[in-house]
Amino acid sequence: MNKQRRSCMKAGAVALAMAASGAASTAGAAAPSWPVRPITIVVPYAPGGNTDLMARLIGEQLAKALHVPVVVDNKAGAAGLIAAEYVARSPADGYTLFMGTLTQISTAPFTNKIRYNPVKDFVPIANVGGNPFVITVNARVPARDVKELIAYAKQHPGKLNMGNAGVGGLTHLSALVFAKYTGIDVVEVPYKGASLALGDVVAGQIDMYSGNLSEVVPYARDARVRLLGVSSKNRVKQLPDVPALAEAVPGIPEVETWNGLLGPAGMPAQAVDRIAAAVLAALADPAFRKKLEDAGITPLPEVKEQFAQRIRRDIEVWKPMIEMAGIKPE
């Protein structure tokens, strides 16, 4: 009797173990893989600018590749630092991404008193594209080229005003580099986004703006503005008739930016890998590359460690340039 009871108990234990094992196996098989809900890309500027455009373009590609909706959330202000801190403090689950720029990641420590660590609080996922800047003036400014602009500014110190998309951002820093190397005195006017600043140049509310190539390309034939010079080492194919600033100002540093996807540190490797792969696939597609290039954007297919290396290199390059411009963290 006791032997039979022990046999029954043993059989029951085996059955329970098998049931538990089967349940665990079923649960494991049914465990959802990332992603299972919408992904948000946080953009650090107002709608309509270069970064916003790139976020929306790559967001469409991610939605197709990952089979979930991708939403763009614009959180403008403080040269994008508000958005950067928001993402740095977000759950590291892969559902909140940052369409970061060189401004919030590589130069922020030297221009602002920030409450996040650009290197430790983010994981670089995939760069998307970049471009130089273009000195753009309202048509009422009596200058047809860079040399005439410099001459006019020196004859009228403090008369010209120059908009930027936020203090400490690259539209601001590129303008300061231009002013520093040309010796001109202009009044800086900060805005909460690139589209707002450029819009006021077109409308004649301000005189000048150092804008991303992709932002100003649509205005290349607009009689209301003039595109005087690009901040790259050489001319760009999208604006072949616009000279490089170095042609008129020998020795002026080359200034270019990038826009890429980052996430909060600690994101699941699966999420990082799938986003990186989706971005690389998009940038390898000739039709998508043409969309970027037509908008004045140079595709930059760099993911994970390669993207991280660019960030570290930019930090080394920009630190002395910002100090040269006399900017201190505020």
CATH number at residue 51: 3.40.190.150
Inform me whether the pLDDT recorded for 21 exceeds 70.
Answer: no
Mean pLDDT of the 38-67 span: 95
Residues 203 and 291 in one domain: no
Tally of domains in the chain:
2
pLDDT-based confidence at 32, cuts 50/70/90?
Answer: low
Q: What phi-psi label fits residue 171: left (phi over 0), alpha (psi between -120 and 50 degrees) or beta? A: alpha
pLDDT-based confidence at 28, cuts 50/70/90?
Answer: very low
Weakest-pLDDT range from 113-127, 219-233, 313-327: 313-327
Mean pLDDT of the 137-150 span: 97
String of DSSP letters for 3-28: HHHHHHHHHHHHHHHHHHHHHHHHHH
Inform me whether the pLDDT recorded for 18 exceeds 50.
Answer: no
Cα distance between residue 306 and residue 264, in whole Å: 18
String of DSSP letters for 143-205: -SSHHHHHHHHHHSTTT-EEEESSTTSHHHHHHHHHHHHHT---EEEE-SSHHHHHHHHHHTS
Inform me whether the pLDDT recorded for 6 exceeds 70.
Answer: no
Read off the pLDDT of residues 68-111 as tens digits, 9 standing for 90 and up. Answer: 999 999 999 888 999 999 999 999 999 999 999 998 999 999 98
Residues 110 and 121 in one domain: yes
Residue 35 is predicted with a pLDDT of: 97
Query: Between β-strands 96-101 and 39-43, what pairing exists: parallel, antiparallel or unpaired?
Result: parallel
Residue 86 is predicted with a pLDDT of: 98
Residue 206 is predicted with a pLDDT of: 97
Contact 70, 62 (CB under 8 A): yes
Q: Is residue 2 classed as helix, strand or coil in its secondary structure?
A: helix
Inform me whether the pLDDT recorded for 63 exceeds 60.
Answer: yes
User: What value does the mean pLDDT of the chain take?
Assistant: 88
For tokens 């970049």, name the residue.
Answer: 130
CA distances from 241 to 146, 260, 266 (A): 13, 29, 46
Residue 145 is predicted with a pLDDT of: 97
Residues 235 and 290 in one domain: no
Instruction: Tell me which H or E stretch contains 229.
Output: strand 225-230
Among 248, 282, 309, residue at a domain's last position: 248
Read off the pLDDT of residues 247-289 as tens digits, 9 standing for 90 and up. Answer: 999 999 888 889 999 999 999 999 999 999 999 999 999 999 9
Residue 73 lies in a domain: yes
Inform me whether the pLDDT recorded for 11 exceeds 70.
Answer: no
Query: Cβ-count burial of 92 within 10 angstroms (0-12 exposed, 13-18 middle, 19+ buried)?
Result: middle
Residues 184 and 208 in one domain: yes
Give the residue, 313 or 20, on which the prediction is more confident: 313
For tokens 């050489």, name the residue.
Answer: 234
Residue 62 lies in a domain: yes
Residue 12 lies in a domain: no
Read off the pLDDT of residues 169-188 as tens digits, 9 standing for 90 and up. Answer: 788 889 988 998 999 999 99
Residue 187 is predicted with a pLDDT of: 95
For tokens 């901040």, name the residue.
Answer: 231
Mean pLDDT of the 315-321 span: 86
Q: How many CB atoms lie within 10 A of CB 25?
A: 10
Residues 147 and 242 in one domain: yes
Q: Is residue 107 classed as helix, strand or coil in its secondary structure?
A: helix
Residue 222 lies in a domain: yes
Query: Between β-strands 70-74 and 39-43, what pairing exists: parallel, antiparallel or unpaired?
Result: parallel
Domain range enclosing 311: 39-130+257-324
pLDDT-based confidence at 326, cuts 50/70/90?
Answer: confident
Inform me whether the pLDDT recorded for 23 exceeds 50.
Answer: no
Mean pLDDT of the 300-322 span: 92
- Nearest CA-CA partner of 265 in 75, 93, 112, 83: 93
The pTM for the full model equals: 0.75
Residues 126 and 137 in one domain: no
Residues 170 and 221 in one domain: yes
Residue 22 lies in a domain: no
Cβ neighbours of residue 247 closer than 8 Å, sequence gap 6 or more: 146, 229
Among 230, 248, 266, residue at a domain's last position: 248
